Chain A
């Protein structure tokens, strides 16, 4: 029998965003192709959605 709560599950739209940064182990943060820290481009972070309250929901339950 399917638990009651799961009757209210719905498909999740998976973002098709490719994050244009990579981890720099020396600086210990993610950098853009031009070497700037990814956090210096706030518009990009907002567009990527990687800082939102549902960003960690699939692996952590601390939204």
Chain B
């Protein structure tokens, strides 16, 4: 039974898990959907009331009957590397590849359906509420007056992008930023703005969840630091214990979202309270493992290597 990893060749974080699978002699196929069609080949047949499918790449072959689990790490767009790439070819290839994989009874980390939903930051805030996390007051709006009122009510407010920096502009960053006094909110009408009450923090918390296993990491913040991803403060990530209340909320969040893997970001305030900021359904973990020594790659490998049921109906759980 083989683990399928969907990711790019350049993804060295996936390497950490591949190495762990090799150590345990667990068969693995690494495939970038961008290489279909071309370097990678697929076939699926639906006949006589039965189904089977095969993938091959670089001499490695995988039958859907031998599929143990799927890890969706950093896959390219289907057909992105094809000589005649087009949006139509991408759509056709996505149908063929993911349609075949969805037909197989297997475990997903994470199922694309759950992953797609889990990427929505406003939805994350609602699930965080329902899970019992402390969530900073937040508004997302295209109404300048609403944005103005929010800023007046909470005074210290940050703006953050819901979807990340503009694609196709690698020289541009969009870190979470404090809005200064006297901001002009009129341009909120030109695009949704996500505003959140600023949490003065003593540390950033990264909580990586692999199935039921939790890996807490903490990095001290510099005075006034807003976005922990930017700026070298000289502080390093270290292991931290996960409070029971947080662990309970995490389990609730994972159950509601159907995620098997997640990387939570919290801001720890001066009283030690963890404020929910976001949950990255495929968040990076390599930097945490490298700095703290936490065996996250091993945990991912063990989860992927877990035995699947013998169910004939495709599973959709994460």
Chain A residues near B (Cβ < 8 Å): 1-12, 14, 19, 21, 23, 25-30, 37-39, 42, 45-46, 48, 50-63
Contact = CB atoms under 8 A, between A and B. Distances in A.
Contacts of A46: 287, 290-291
A7 B187 contact: yes
B164 A53 contact: no
A5 B15 contact: no
Main secondary structure of the interface of A (DSSP, over half): loop
Contacts of A28: 18, 28-30, 58, 60
A6 B229 contact: no
Contacts of B41: none
B283 A62 contact: yes
A38 B174 contact: no
Contacts of A1: 187, 189-190
Interface of B: 9-10, 12-16, 18-19, 22, 28-30, 57-60, 74, 119, 147, 159-161, 163-167, 170-175, 177, 179, 185, 187-194, 206, 229-230, 280-287, 289-291
Given A1-B190, A11-B173, A51 B282 contact: no
A51 B30 contact: no
Contacts, number: 150
Contacts of A50: 10, 12-13, 286
A63 to B, nearest CB: 5
A62 B190 contact: no
Contacts of B59: 25-26
B167 A58 contact: yes
Contacts of A8: 159, 174-175, 177, 179
Contacts of A7: 187
B124 to A, nearest CB: 12
B171 A14 contact: yes
B19 A39 contact: yes
A7 B132 CA distance: 33
Nearest to A49: B287
Main SS of chain B's interface residues? mixed
Given A2-B190, A55-B284, 20 more contacts: A1-B189, A4-B159, A10-B174, A11-B172, A11-B173, A25-B58, A28-B29, A28-B30, A29-B12, A39-B19, A45-B12, A51-B12, A51-B13, A51-B290, A52-B286, A54-B173, A56-B74, A58-B167, A60-B74, A61-B164
A43 B30 CA distance: 25
B12 A4 contact: no
Identify the interface centre among A11, A12, A25, A53: most chain B CB within 10 Å of its CB: A53
B173 A4 contact: no
Contact of A11 (B28, B29, B171): B171
B56 to A, nearest CB: 12
B166 A61 contact: no
A58 B171 CA distance: 9
A41 B171 CA distance: 28
A21 B15 CA distance: 12
Given A4-B147, A28-B30, A9 B173 contact: yes
B286 A12 contact: no
Q: Which 6 A-B pairs have the closest CB atoms?
A: A51-B286, A3-B191, A25-B58, A61-B164, A12-B173, A62-B282
A35 to B, nearest CB: 14
Contacts of B175: 8, 10
Contact of B19 (A25, A37, A57, A59): A37
A11 B175 CA distance: 10
B161 A5 contact: yes
